[in-house]
A = this chain, B = another copy of it.
Amino acid sequence: MRDTYHDELDSISTALVEMAHQVGSAMSRATTALLDADLALAEMVISNDDAVDARYRDIEARAFDLLARQQPVAGDLRILVTSLRMVADLERMGDNAAHVAKIARRRYPASAVPAPLRSTVLQMGNAAAEIVAKTGSVIASRNLDMAAELEKDDDVMDELHRQLFHSILDDAWAAGVEAAIDVTLVGRYYERFADHAVSVARRVVYLVTGERVIVT
């Protein structure tokens, strides 16, 4: 019975890695939809968020089930409880991808991103994709060096976020208030997405080392 149990424990970890891939793909598509003003792609991201939510419920149910049936102690208990929290972060990341797609949809057929900011938004989208890919690898490998890299990657995202604000607040801003709002929200969604990804990686660090990093 212990073998089945550990298989189930592993399968939850695998499902978390898949979910990281899923929300990463959602955010990459949302970025493309935003920059290309691609309505069909935006709609796809928005409707696919149901699949992210379904996976969330599935992982949650399996973790609860194992907790209730197996009465795990120490390390396994910590893995399961931590998994329940990681899956909540991943679900929020899916929401942020859907939020970006909704802004793309709202401005269609125009693009929500004024030409001078396309490069910064593209960089934020790429940073988000790289961060979540690394998060998936951290869940799978429990590689602490990679988890440490994520903190630096998040600094890059924060710097891009600052650049975005500077552009909007620059006297040369000519795209108007509506675009300023869109870009402000989009910036926030990318930044939150990255924060949740880093939070997942920090939970892995906690699992491995027992050292707690609080998310601020």
Residues of A within 8 A of B (CB): 49, 53, 56-57, 64, 67-68, 71, 73-74, 77-78, 81, 84-85, 88, 95, 165, 168-169, 173, 177-178, 180-181, 184-185, 188, 212, 214, 216
Contact = CB atoms under 8 A, between A and B. Distances in A.
A177 B177 CA distance: 6
A185 B180 CA distance: 11
Taking the full assembly, how many copies of this chain does it contain?
Answer: 2
Contacts of A68: 73-74, 77
Contacts of A78: 64
Contacts of A181: 165, 168-169, 180-181, 184
B64 A81 contact: yes
A58 to B, nearest CB: 12
A185 B168 CA distance: 14
